[in-house]
């Protein structure tokens, strides 16, 4: 049976603190040898995804900006489907535009005086410092199209007010490893996973989907796959969710990721 792996990047395939992935390289090779698609499903931008795909030699579709859009390489599937052509990709967009999202954050800031700082308010140097990225990495991280990441510098109890304001404006919010993300209501990792799974099923018949993540913004993805898995987060524990047949890896970040790949793909 065709297996398809959906994976978060930050804190899952990539180490949360230094974005390293060396420990995962042999498992990545094993997946490629078995022709298991490795689908990035991440808050990262198109430009960041392209960078990691190139670096890791992955040619499969990917989900950017927390489910904002699905990029499918041209001719990846043997059939036609509805999408927008963009260079060598076929794009299915689910999210609101960056301009709309920035405007909503600006309005909330004016209404509430909350300390909200988006990537769009920061220079590449500031993003680099805050996210522990190089300036080149920060420039890629700032190229958002369907999502805006922001720092919410307020006491925890104000989070509910923030979430309410975002919903009132017709958008959605998620909280990832480091940042909050505002995005379109229809942009969610789960919807994107379901659309892509449908395309894989059309191509291969029955497929088995495995999803691996570490934090709250992964919940829709974990709900949309047959075999959900969590790696340990920065606190050395797992995201507190109850999901049927959820696998909890003993390792954090890429170490846990390798464990998941071995358990459900390489050793099966
Ligand atoms: Mg993550």
Using the mean position of ligand 1's atoms as its centre, give its distance from the Cα of residue 29 in Å. 22
Using the mean position of ligand 1's atoms as its centre, give its distance from the Cα of residue 11 in Å. 5
The packing angle between helices 98-112 and 159-168, to 10°, is 130
Using the mean position of ligand 1's atoms as its centre, give its distance from the Cα of residue 134 in Å. 19
User: Tokens representing 52?
Assistant: 């990691």
Using the mean position of ligand 1's atoms as its centre, give its distance from the Cα of residue 78 in Å. 32
Show Cβ contacts of residue 265 under 8 Å, excluding neighbours closer than 6 positions: 3, 5, 30, 31, 34, 36, 210
Q: Which residue has the tokens 């990441």?
A: 149
Task: Decide: 185 and 192 in contact? Cβ < 8 Å.
Answer: no
Nearest to 237 by CA among 246, 226, 250: 250
Task: Decide: 81 and 200 in contact? Cβ < 8 Å.
Answer: no
Using the mean position of ligand 1's atoms as its centre, give its distance from the Cα of residue 80 in Å. 32
Using the mean position of ligand 1's atoms as its centre, give its distance from the Cα of residue 252 in Å. 11
* Catalytic choice (8, 60, 65, 188): 8
How many other CB atoms are found less than 10 A from the CB of residue 114? 17
| Element at 110 (helix H, strand E) | helix 98-112
Nearest to 59 by CA among 49, 45, 68, 67: 49
Architecture of 2-95+187-266 per CATH? 3-Layer(aba) Sandwich (3.40)
pLDDT value, residue 17? 81
pLDDT value, residue 234? 87
Using the mean position of ligand 1's atoms as its centre, give its distance from the Cα of residue 12 in Å. 6
Task: Decide: 47 and 54 in contact? Cβ < 8 Å.
Answer: no
pLDDT value, residue 176? 65
Q: Per residue of the chain (268 residues), give pLDDT as tens.
A: 899 999 999 999 999 888 899 999 999 999 999 999 999 999 899 999 999 999 999 999 999 998 999 999 999 999 999 999 999 999 999 989 999 999 999 999 999 999 999 999 999 999 999 988 999 999 999 999 998 999 999 998 999 999 999 999 999 998 866 799 899 988 889 999 999 999 999 999 999 999 999 998 899 999 999 999 999 998 999 999 999 999 999 999 999 999 999 999 987 6
Residue ranges of the domains in the chain? Answer: 2-95+187-266, 98-184
Show Cβ contacts of residue 89 under 8 Å, excluding neighbours closer than 6 positions: 71, 72, 73, 74
**Rounded CA separation 162/104 (Å):** 11
R_g over Cα of the chain: 18
**Rounded CA separation 233/252 (Å):** 6
User: Tokens representing 233?
Assistant: 């987060």
Show Cβ contacts of residue 62 under 8 Å, excluding neighbours closer than 6 positions: 39, 40, 41, 42, 49, 53, 70, 71
CATH (one of 3.40.309.10, 3.30.530.20, 3.30.980.20, 3.30.420.10) for 98-184: 3.30.980.20
8 is catalytic: yes
């Amino acid at each position: 049976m065709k297996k398809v792996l959906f994976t978060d990047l930050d804190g899952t395939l990539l180490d949360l603190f230094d974005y390293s992935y060396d420990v995962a390289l042999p498992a990545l090779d094993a997946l490629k040898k078995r022709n298991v698609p490795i689908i990035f499903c991440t808050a990262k931008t198109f430009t960041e995804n392209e960078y990691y795909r190139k670096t890791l030699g992955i040619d499969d579709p990917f989900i950017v900006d927390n489910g904002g859009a699905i990029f499918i390489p041209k001719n990846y599937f043997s059939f036609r489907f509805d999408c927008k052509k963009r260079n060598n990709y076929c794009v299915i967009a689910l999210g609101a535009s960056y301009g709309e999202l920035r405007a909503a954050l600006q309005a909330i800031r004016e209404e509430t005086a909350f300390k909200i700082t988006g990537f769009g308010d920061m220079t590449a140097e500031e993003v680099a410092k805050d996210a522990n990225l190089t300036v080149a990495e920060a420039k890629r991280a700032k190229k958002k199209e369907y999502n805006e990441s922001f720092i919410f510098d307020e006491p925890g109890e104000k989070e509910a007010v923030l979430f309410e304001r975002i919903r009132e404006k017709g958008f959605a919010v998620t909280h990832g490893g480091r940042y909050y993300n505002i995005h379109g209501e229809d942009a969610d990792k789960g919807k994107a996973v379901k659309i892509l799974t449908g395309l894989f099923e059309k191509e291969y018949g029955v497929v088995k989907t495995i999803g691996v993540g570490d934090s709250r913004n992964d919940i829709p993805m974990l709900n949309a796959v047959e075999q959900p898995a969590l790696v340990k987060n920065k606190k050395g524990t797992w995201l507190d969710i109850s999901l049927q047949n959820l696998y909890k890896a003993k390792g954090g970040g890429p170490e846990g990721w390798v464990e998941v790949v071995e358990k459900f793909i390489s050793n099966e």
